[in-house]
C-alpha cells in the first residue's frame, strides 16, 4: 500500500472519529438542555356522579400517591352532609406514615356499602393487619351506627375501627386533637361556623382547632397541655379575618402562650392564597383546586394535598384572581388536581389557572 493511500485512510479515520465525538457531545448537551426544561403543565379532574363517588375518586388518588400498591393504609369516614367533623380529622389524616383519605357517607345502605367495599379493596392489596386503622368522626347522628356493620359485612374485622365524637362539633374536634394531635407542628385555628378557611388549611399537615366566638375552658386546657408537652411548636396560625375568628380569641391564645400569626384576606380566596404562600414555600410540584362555594369535594382535598406536598386553593368562576396569581408566581407547579365535576369548576376556568404560569 502506498504511503499516500495510508495517509488518506488515516485522515478519513481521524475525521470520522472527530465527527463522532462532536455528534456525541452535541447530543449530550442537547439532552442536558432538554432535561433542564420543565415539563409542560397538565391537570387532571377527580370527580364522580355525586359527593360520595367523588370522595372515592380522590381517595384512590391519595392511595396512588402513598405507595407502589396504590392503596391507602388508614381511612377517615365522615358525614357528607356537614363539614365540621371531616375538617376536625386533619390530624388523623397524617397520623401514620402516609396520609389517610377522607371518605364521605350518608345514612343510605347503598352509599355505606360502597364505601365499605372500597376500603376492603384498598386494605386487601397489602394484607389486613393492625397497622391499618379506620376512624369514624362524628356521632351516630352524623354517621349511622350501621356503618360499622357494613365494614364487618365487607370482611373488615382485623383492623381497629375507632369512632371519635362529642356533644357538638367543638367537642368532637377537641376529642380528636386530645387523642391524635401533633404538638410539634403549628396549630391552625379556624372558625367552626364556616368551612372555607379550614378547607384551605387542611393540606398543611397541622392540627386544626375549630372555634366559636370565644375559647371554651376545654379549649384553653388543651392549649395549656399542648404547651407543656415535649418540644411543642407554639406557633398558632389563625386562618381568616376577625369576622371568622374574633380578635378576642387571638388575644386569649397569645395570653396562653401561643405565638399567633393571622392569615386573613379580604375574602376566602385571598385567605386561601395566603395560606398556600405561608405553608408551601418549597416550590411545590402539585396544587389542588377546590370549589370555594361549597364544601363536599374540598373536604377530601386535604389528604391529597398533603400526600402530594401541595396546597388546596379555593376557586370559582367569579374568583380566579388569586388562583391565577399563585399559578403565575409558582412555576414549579406542573400538575394541578381539580376536585369535583365541571359544573363547579369548568374546564375553561381550570385552563386559565393552569396556564397562567406558562
CATH of the domain at 139: 3.40.50
Among 17-21, 63-67, 287-291, which stretch is predicted with the lowest mean pLDDT?
17-21
pLDDT at position 129 = 62
For residue 231, pLDDT over 50 is answered with: yes
For residue 34, pLDDT over 50 is answered with: no
pLDDT band at 230 (very low <50, low <70, confident <90, very high): very high
How far is it, in rounded angstroms, from Cα 98 to Cα 119?
Answer: 15
pLDDT digits (tens, 9 = 90+) for 302-332: 999 999 999 999 999 999 999 999 999 999 9
Question: What CATH code is carried by the domain that includes residue 254?
Answer: 3.40.50.12090
Among 31-45, 134-148, 169-183, 218-232, which stretch is predicted with the lowest mean pLDDT?
31-45
pTM beyond 0.85, yes or no: yes
Quick one: three-class SS letters along the chain? Answer: CCHHHHHHHHHHHHHHHHHHHHHHHHHHHHHHHHHHCCCCCEEEEECCCCHHHHHHHHHHHHHHHHCCCCCCCEEEEEECCCCHHHHHHHHHHHCCCCCCCEEEECCCHHHHHHHHHHHHHHHHHCCCCCCCEEEEECCCCCCCCHHHHHHHHCCCCCCCEEEECCCCHHHHHHHHHHHHCCCCCCEEEEECCCCHHHHHHCCCCCEEEEECCCCCHHHHHHHHHHHCCCCCCCEEEEECCCCCCCHHHHHHHHHHCCEEEEECCCCHHHHHHHHHHHHCCCCCCEEEEEECCCCHHHHCHHHHHHHHCCCEEEEECCECHHHHHHHHHCCCCCEEEEECCCCCCCHHHHHHHHHHHC
pLDDT at position 22 = 42
Among 77-81, 224-228, 258-262, 278-282, which stretch is predicted with the lowest mean pLDDT?
278-282
The average confidence (pLDDT) of the chain is 88
pLDDT band at 338 (very low <50, low <70, confident <90, very high): very high
Domain hosting residue 346, numbered range: 40-48+280-358
pLDDT band at 206 (very low <50, low <70, confident <90, very high): very high
Does residue 197 share a domain with residue 128? no
How far is it, in rounded angstroms, from Cα 130 to Cα 347?
Answer: 42
For residue 9, pLDDT over 80 is answered with: no
Does residue 132 share a domain with residue 193? no
pLDDT at position 28 = 38
In whole angstroms, what separates CA 297 from the centre of its chain? 12
Q: Is the Cα torsion angle 77, 200, 175, 193 positive or negative in sign? A: negative
Torsions phi, psi of 80, nearest 5? -90, 0
Residue 138 is placed in which grid cell? 362524628
Please list, residue by residue across 121-142, b when 16 or more beta carbons sit within 10 angstroms of its beta carbon and e when fewer do.
ebbeeeeeeeebbbbbbbbeeb
Residue 141 is placed in which grid cell? 347522628
Does residue 344 share a domain with residue 292? yes
pLDDT digits (tens, 9 = 90+) for 238-294: 999 999 999 999 999 999 999 999 999 999 999 999 999 999 988 999 999 999 999
Does residue 199 share a domain with residue 268? yes
Q: For residues 313 and 259, is the Cβ–Cβ distance under 8 A?
A: no
Q: Does some domain include residue 190?
A: yes
Does residue 232 share a domain with residue 191? yes
Name the residue among 219, 185, 190, 223 with its Cα closest to residue 204: 185
Task: Name the domain boundary from 166, 191, 214.
Answer: 166
pLDDT at position 130 = 58
Does residue 76 share a domain with residue 161? yes
Q: Does some domain include residue 23?
A: no
Q: Does some domain include residue 192?
A: yes
Euclidean distance between the first and final Cα of the chain, in Å? 63
Share of the chain above pLDDT 90, in %: 76
How far is it, in rounded angstroms, from Cα 211 to Cα 150?
Answer: 33
Does residue 186 share a domain with residue 139? no
pLDDT at position 4 = 43
pLDDT at position 91 = 87
Q: Does some domain include residue 107?
A: yes
For residues 31 and 149, which has the higher predicted lDDT (pLDDT)?
A: 149
How far is it, in rounded angstroms, from Cα 61 to Cα 69?
Answer: 12
Does residue 350 share a domain with residue 286? yes
For residue 26, pLDDT over 90 is answered with: no
Q: Does some domain include residue 27?
A: no
Does residue 202 share a domain with residue 270? yes
Does residue 115 share a domain with residue 78? yes
Does residue 158 share a domain with residue 87? yes
Task: Name the domain boundary from 277, 296, 317.
Answer: 277
pLDDT digits (tens, 9 = 90+) for 50-62: 999 999 999 999 9
Q: Does some domain include residue 233?
A: yes
pLDDT band at 197 (very low <50, low <70, confident <90, very high): very high
pLDDT at position 21 = 39
pLDDT at position 158 = 85
- DSSP-assigned beta bridge partners for residue 263: 239
Q: Does some domain include residue 303?
A: yes
Does residue 284 share a domain with residue 272? no
For residue 29, pLDDT over 80 is answered with: no
For residues 75 and 95, which has the higher predicted lDDT (pLDDT)?
A: 75
Q: Does some domain include residue 304?
A: yes
pLDDT band at 65 (very low <50, low <70, confident <90, very high): confident
Task: Name the domain boundary from 277, 292, 308.
Answer: 277
For residues 159 and 209, which has the higher predicted lDDT (pLDDT)?
A: 209
pLDDT at position 68 = 60
How far is it, in rounded angstroms, from Cα 132 to Cα 96?
Answer: 9
What is the tally of structural domains in the chain? 3
Name the residue among 340, 248, 326, 236 with its Cα closest to residue 284: 326
Q: For residues 183 and 229, is the Cβ–Cβ distance under 8 A?
A: yes
Amino acid at each position: 500500500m502506498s504511503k499516500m493511500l495510508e495517509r488518506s485512510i488515516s485522515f478519513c479515520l481521524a475525521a470520522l472519529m472527530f465527527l463522532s465525538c462532536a455528534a456525541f457531545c452535541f447530543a449530550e448537551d442537547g439532552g442536558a438542555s432538554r432535561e433542564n426544561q420543565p415539563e409542560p403543565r397538565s391537570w387532571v379532574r377527580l370527580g364522580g356522579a355525586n359527593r360520595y363517588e367523588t370522595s372515592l375518586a380522590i381517595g384512590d388518588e391519595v392511595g396512588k400517591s402513598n405507595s407502589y400498591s396504590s392503596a391507602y393504609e388508614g381511612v377517615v369516614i365522615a358525614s357528607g352532609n356537614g363539614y365540621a367533623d371531616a375538617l376536625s380529622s386533619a390530624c388523623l389524616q397524617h397520623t401514620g406514615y402516609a396520609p389517610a383519605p377522607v371518605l364521605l357517607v350518608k345514612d343510605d345502605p347503598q352509599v355505606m356499602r360502597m364505601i365499605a367495599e372500597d376500603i376492603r379493596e384498598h386494605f386487601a392489596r397489602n394484607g389486613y393487619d393492625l397497622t391499618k386503622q379506620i376512624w369514624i368522626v362524628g356521632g351516630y347522628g352524623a354517621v349511622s351506627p350501621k356503618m360499622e356493620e357494613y365494614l364487618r359485612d365487607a370482611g373488615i374485622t382485623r383492623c381497629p375501627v375507632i369512632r371519635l365524637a362529642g356533644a357538638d362539633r367543638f367537642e368532637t374536634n377537641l376529642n380528636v386533637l386530645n387523642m391524635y394531635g401533633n404538638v410539634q407542628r403549628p396549630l391552625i385555628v379556624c372558625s367552626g361556623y364556616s368551612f372555607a378557611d379550614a378547607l384551605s388549611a387542611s393540606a398543611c399537615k397541622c392540627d386544626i382547632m375549630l372555634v366559636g366566638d370565644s375559647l371554651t375552658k376545654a379549649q384553653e386546657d388543651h392549649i395549656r397541655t399542648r404547651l407543656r408537652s415535649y418540644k411543642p411548636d407554639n406557633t398558632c396560625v389563625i386562618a381568616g379575618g376577625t369576622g371568622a375568628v374574633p380578635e378576642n380569641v387571638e388575644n386569649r391564645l397569645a395570653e396562653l402562650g401561643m405565638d399567633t400569626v393571622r392569615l386573613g384576606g379580604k375574602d376566602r380566596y385571598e385567605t386561601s392564597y395566603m395560606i398556600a404562600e405561608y405553608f408551601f414555600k418549597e416550590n411545590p410540584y402539585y396544587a389542588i383546586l377546590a370549589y370555594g362555594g361549597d364544601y363536599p369535594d374540598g373536604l377530601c382535598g386535604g389528604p391529597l394535598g398533603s400526600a402530594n406536598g401541595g396546597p388546596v386553593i379555593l376557586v370559582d368562576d367569579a374568583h380566579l384572581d388569586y388562583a391565577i396569581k399563585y399559578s403565575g408566581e409558582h412555576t414549579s407547579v406542573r400538575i394541578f388536581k381539580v376536585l369535583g365535576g365541571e359544573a363547579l369548576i369548568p374546564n375553561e376556568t381550570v385552563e386559565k389557572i393552569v396556564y397562567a404560569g406558562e
